[in-house]
Amino acid sequence: MPNLSHSFLRWPVALATALALLGGPAAHAMKLKPQNLTRLIADSQSIIAGKVTHVTDGVTPNGMPYTEITIAVADSAKGELRGGAKHTFRQFGLLKPRKMPNGSTLAAVTPDGFPNWRVGEQVVAFMYKPASRTGLQTTAGLAQGKLNVLDGRVQNEFNNRGLFDGVKVQDGLLSAKEREMLSSQGAVDAATFVGLVGRAVTGNWVATGEMR
């Protein structure tokens, strides 16, 4: 039998504890629950578009592994962040296993289902509120709520699978391009997507039932 480090053996327990502390969307990390666009908008504390400028990881003094991400915000559809601001947050899990001072290896990397972040990527991020007990934060719907922008198109880690499933918007509110987008699959036009999200938030469509 391999000589597993003590830290590695504790990892399943640490993950379960962390998910309980994170609450909200993180509770679905081991079994990701599909979230469509309506749900992402409703569950987000802020919705930002920008460039990832810094990614690092570490362990808090009480032993919580984290990845720290900074996004230079270019635009915001929801929340208090505005263009020109920088949003720095910590998400649960390390970038890679870490050798600890006592010689053991902490293998608490970012769990499956959580978003991964890279310096230089352009993103649209539906940010869930920080956890009350730990301050850790991630995107609503986990990896579903982090969309990459490339060549004028936007998609999440799952190629937008399920993103528009069941989304209904009141007649007369959508443009022809937006209606076409909601019936499409895969990457979609970034300007159309961001424009729809911005109008939905400004008009409070989800709360009024105009978008469901």
pLDDT tens column, 92-126: 999 999 998 888 999 999 999 999 999 999 999 99
- Contact criterion met (CB below 8 Å) for 123 and 147: yes
Q: Is residue 102 part of a domain?
A: yes
Contacts of 26 (CB under 8 A, 6+ apart): 18, 19, 92, 114, 131, 138, 142
Q: What is the pLDDT of residue 27?
A: 46
Residue 190 within a domain: no
Q: Any residues with CB less than 8 A from the CB of 82 and at least 6 apart, and which?
A: 73, 76
Residue 10 lies in a domain: yes
52's CB contacts (< 8 A; 6+ apart) are 69, 70, 71, 117, 118, 119, 120, 121, 122, 123
Question: pLDDT for 129-169, tens place per residue?
Answer: 999 999 999 999 999 999 999 999 999 999 999 999 999 99
Backbone angles phi, psi at 117, to 5 degrees: -125, 140
Tell me if 118 is assigned to some domain.
Answer: yes
Alpha-carbon 23 to chain mean position: 14
Q: Is residue 138 part of a domain?
A: yes
**Residue 204: φ, ψ to 5°:** 55, 40
Cα 100 from chain centroid (whole Å): 28
70 SS3 class: strand
Is 210 domain-assigned? no
Instruction: Give the integer Cα–Cα distance in Å for 142 and 110.
Output: 11
Query: Span 197-208, mean pLDDT?
Result: 98
Domain hosting 95: range is 6-158
Mean pLDDT, all residues of the chain? 89
Is a pLDDT exceeding 70 seen at residue 176?
Answer: yes
Nearest to 78 by CA among 182, 194, 180: 194
Q: Once rounded to an integer, what is the mean pLDDT over residues 38-49? A: 98
Q: How many domains does the chain have?
A: 1
* Confidence bin at 88 (pLDDT 50/70/90): very high
Q: Is residue 19 part of a domain?
A: yes
Contact assessment for residue 58 and residue 68, using Cβ atoms and an 8 Å cutoff: yes
Query: Is 126 part of a structural domain of the chain?
Result: yes
- The CATH number given to whatever domain includes residue 49 is 2.40.50
**Size of the chain in residues:** 212
pLDDT score of 31: 66
